[in-house]
């Protein structure tokens, strides 16, 4: 049995760590036909703005599995990150980041038995990168979270937990503040957890999750979370076990999976033969399990443990410049130790992750009854609040609607509330409501009326779905 795998050496330290991982996998006995492909800095230099040539895309499409080195993101040339391009192109919706204590690698947390996995949503949330300047001095970034995205990441987390015989999942969100967006993940988690009675499901507020990760990380098993939360929590967690040199990752999609370390191209170490290749070797171990090569994956883990804990061959990031083993010496030692066993390794009896989204198509949520009861109109204005409010009341009258309130950054500023400290920007929002359900012609009438009085930039309908308001109230709104 042999496998075709796309291999992207990447930038900076990428070629060194990828060579190391490739040598270790080859030495494990698994037969891989590596298709070496380009992406990143060299490709940008050739003038390709995506940083990913078509041959690389074709190779991943064909092989559906890639092992990738880090890609440097050019600063200031208008190019997109090649990493993000790959993530979006192959819709790798789930990012799995294990965080595990390594014997022989001393940290302030040594001996606590940290062995957790962060399952991070990878394509939605603020990272969709939908940003606008609403005024020259107020920026907006849209946090879009779909039920479909939530179902996919939550199912992946539960199936991943089952594949490793893990028993608890925490869902970390900020649903207490962002009730619709972060709340979407919480609600989906609560619904889907009913299909997995063998796994204990708990919700945790993400800031407390960060606190608990530092205080008592060994209490966590699997943490599923939104994109931005996951980005921060996983970097924080990797520091608990020795840093980025020990943090592997897998980007899981329906059509392709891309395995890569969490770290970047660390350009200052490029070509110095002193970087830690563990994170990429551990990413390759995840890849082998994805391919069903469980024995080879466990053999490599044993060899890594023997190298670090018995032979005490450790790289510069763990033991400092003077005592640090070179990347090549570390790699040779791991290869030499293949076949040896490390006592005390926790064999999780891994199974394949059983996610097939084509079998569980996620349909959009249907509502029985819906209407629009108002609109929020976003303006650029530096007029005094009372003057602006009166203008909006006039506009509302002209459109046979009512001005409910004016807000600035979510805080009610008109009608003026006593004791409210007004710290205004040049962006304000007026909330208008109709006497009953609104149609588009009424909204257009309102927009015509307000455009004569102020500069509007954006409009949002206020929906009611099945009797429930589908928007949040402003601070200070009755
Ligand atoms: P970085 O490359 O991850 O390096 C930050 C620091 O982490 C290094 O200076 C080093 O710390 C430590 N480190 C990283 N990898 C290590 C390893 N294998 N062994 C030991 N220590 C390691 O982050 P960056 O400097 O912010 O980013 C550099 C470039 O990489 C940027 O262009 C960025 O966009 C890109 N990047 C790519 C990816 C990706 O391809 N997935 C991810 C992140 C960043 P010390 O200095 O303390 O020794």
pLDDT of the residue at 85: 87
415 upstream amide cis, omega within 30 of 0? yes
Query: Given the CA of residue 263, which atom of ligand 1 is nearest to it?
Result: 3
Averaged pLDDT, 3-8: 98
Q: Could you tell me if the CB of 83 is within 6 A of ligand 1?
A: yes
Residue 71 CA to ligand 1 center (angstroms) comes to 10
- Counting from 1 in the atom list of ligand 1, the atom nearest the Cα of 280 is 18
Mean pLDDT of the chain: 94
- Confidence band of 317 (pLDDT split at 50, 70, 90): very high
Which residue's CA is the closest to the ligand 1 atom numbered 46?
266
Terminal-to-terminal C-alpha distance of the chain: 67
Count CB-CB contacts under 10 A for residue 26.
Answer: 13
Q: Report pLDDT digits (tens) over 411-425.
A: 999 997 666 667 789
Give distance in angstroms: CA of 68 to centre of ligand 1: 14
Q: In a mutational test of the pocket of ligand 1, which residue from 258, 264, 282, 326 has the highest number of ligand atoms less than 8 Å from its CB?
A: 264
Instruction: Indicate if the alpha-carbon torsion angle 196, 200, 204, 209 is positive or negative.
Output: negative
Answer whether 263 contacts ligand 1 (Cβ < 6 A).
Answer: yes
pLDDT category at 73 given cuts 50, 70, 90 is confident
C-alpha 72 to ligand 1 mean position (Å)? 9
- Structure token pair of residue 429: 């929002």
Rg of the Cα atoms in the chain: 26
Token pair recorded at residue 230: 């996951």
Total-model pTM: 0.93
Which whole number is the average pLDDT over 226-250?
Answer: 95
Q: Of 289, 305, 308, which is closest to residue 297 (Cα–Cα)?
A: 289
Q: Give the model's pLDDT for residue 195.
A: 94
- Ligand 1 centroid to residue 156 C-alpha, Å: 27
Task: Give the residue, by CA position, lying nearest to ligand 1 atom 39.
Answer: 70
- Selection from 59, 70, 73 nearest residue 16 by Cα: 70
Q: Which of 45, 51, 56, 70 to mutate to test the pocket of ligand 1 (most atoms within 8 A of CB)?
A: 70
Res. 199 pLDDT band, cuts 50 70 90: very high
Q: Please report the pLDDT score of residue 313 as a whole number.
A: 96
Across 128-132, 171-175, 409-413, 462-466, least confident range: 128-132
The predicted pLDDT at position 417 comes to: 66
Which tokens belong to 173?
């969100």
Q: Using CA positions, which residue lies closest to atom 37 of ligand 1? A: 264
Looking at ligand 1, which atom is closest to the CA of residue 70? 40
The β-bridge partners of 200 are: 168
pLDDT of 139 over the 80 cut: yes
pLDDT interval class at 184 (50, 70, 90)? very high
What does the alpha-carbon distance between residue 294 and residue 291 come to, in Å, rounded to a whole number? 8
Tell me the pLDDT band of 322, cut-offs 50, 70 and 90.
Answer: confident
Number of helical (H) and strand (E) elements in the chain, helices listed first: 14, 18
349 pLDDT more than 90 = no
**Predicted pLDDT at 475:** 85
Angle at 183 between CA 174 and CA 237, to 5 degrees: 40
Kindly give, in sequence order, each residue whose CB lies less than 8 Å from that of residue 268, ignoring residues fewer than 6 positions away: none
Q: Would you name the residues annotated as active-site residues?
A: 127, 174, 207, 231
Residue 423: what pLDDT?
77
Name the DSSP class of 363: P
Domains belonging to the chain, first-starting first, are: 370-469 (3.30.70.1570)
Write down the pLDDT at residue 294: 95
d(CA 33, CA 30): 10
Q: What is the pLDDT of residue 420?
A: 64
Residue 361 — pLDDT band, cuts 50, 70, 90? low
pLDDT at 419: 64
Q: How far does the centroid of ligand 1 lie from the alpha carbon of residue 264, in Å?
A: 4
Q: Which 8-state DSSP code applies to residue 199?
A: S
């Amino acid at each position: 049995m042999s496998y075709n795998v796309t291999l992207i050496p990447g930038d900076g330290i990428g070629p060194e760590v990828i060579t190391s991982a490739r040598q270790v996998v080859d030495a494990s006995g698994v037969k891989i036909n590596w298709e070496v492909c380009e992406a990143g800095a060299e490709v940008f230099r050739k003038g390709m703005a995506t940083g990913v040539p078509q041959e690389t895309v074709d190779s991943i499409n064909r092989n559906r599995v890639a092992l990738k080195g880090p890609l440097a993101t050019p600063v200031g040339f208008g190019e997109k990150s090649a990493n993000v391009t790959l993530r979006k192109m192959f819709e790798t919706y789930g990012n799995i980041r294990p965080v595990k204590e390594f014997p022989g690698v001393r940290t302030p947390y040594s001996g606590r038995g940290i062995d957790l996995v962060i399952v991070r949503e990878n394509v939605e949330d603020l990272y969709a990168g939908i940003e606008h300047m609403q005024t020259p001095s107020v920026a907006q970034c849209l946090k879009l979270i779909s039920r479909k995205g939530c179902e996919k990441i939550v199912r992946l987390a539960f199936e991943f937990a089952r594949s490793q015989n893990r028993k608890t999942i925490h869902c970390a969100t900020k649903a207490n503040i962002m009730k619709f967006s972060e709340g979407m993940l919480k609600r989906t988690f609560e619904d889907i957890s009913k299909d997995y009675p063998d796994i204990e499901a708990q919700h945790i507020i993400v800031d407390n999750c960060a606190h608990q990760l530092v205080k008592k990380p060994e209490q966590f098993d699997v943490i599923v979370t939104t994109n931005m939360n996951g980005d921060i929590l996983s970097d924080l967690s990797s520091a608990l076990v020795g840093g980025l040199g020990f943090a592997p990752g897998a980007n899981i999609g329906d059509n392709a999976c891309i395995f890569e370390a969490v770290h970047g191209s660390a350009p200052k170490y490029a070509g110095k033969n002193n970087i830690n290749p563990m994170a990429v070797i551990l990413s390759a171990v995840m890849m082998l399990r994805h391919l069903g090569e469980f024995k080879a994956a466990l053999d490599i883990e044993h060899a890594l443990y023997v190298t670090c804990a018995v032979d005490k061959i450790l790289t510069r990031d763990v033991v400092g410049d003077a005592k640090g083993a070179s990347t090549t010496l570390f790699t040779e030692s791991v290869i030499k130790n293949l076949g040896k066993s490390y006592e005390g390794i926790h064999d999780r009896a891994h199974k394949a992750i059983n996610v097939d989204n084509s079998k569980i198509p996620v349909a959009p949520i249907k509502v029985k009854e819906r209407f629009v009861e108002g609109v929020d109109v976003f303006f650029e204005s530096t007029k005094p609040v009372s003057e602006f409010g009166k203008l909006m009341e006039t506009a509302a009258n002209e459109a046979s609607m009512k001005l409910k309130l004016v807000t600035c950054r979510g805080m009610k500023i008109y009608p003026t509330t006593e004791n409210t400290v007004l710290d205004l920007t040049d962006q304000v929002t007026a909330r208008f409501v109709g006497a009953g359900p609104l149609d588009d012609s009424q909204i257009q009438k309102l927009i015509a009326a307000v455009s004569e009085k102020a500069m509007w930039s954006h409009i949002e309908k206020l929906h009611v779905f099945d009797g429930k308001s589908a928007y949040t109230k402003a601070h200070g709104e009755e």
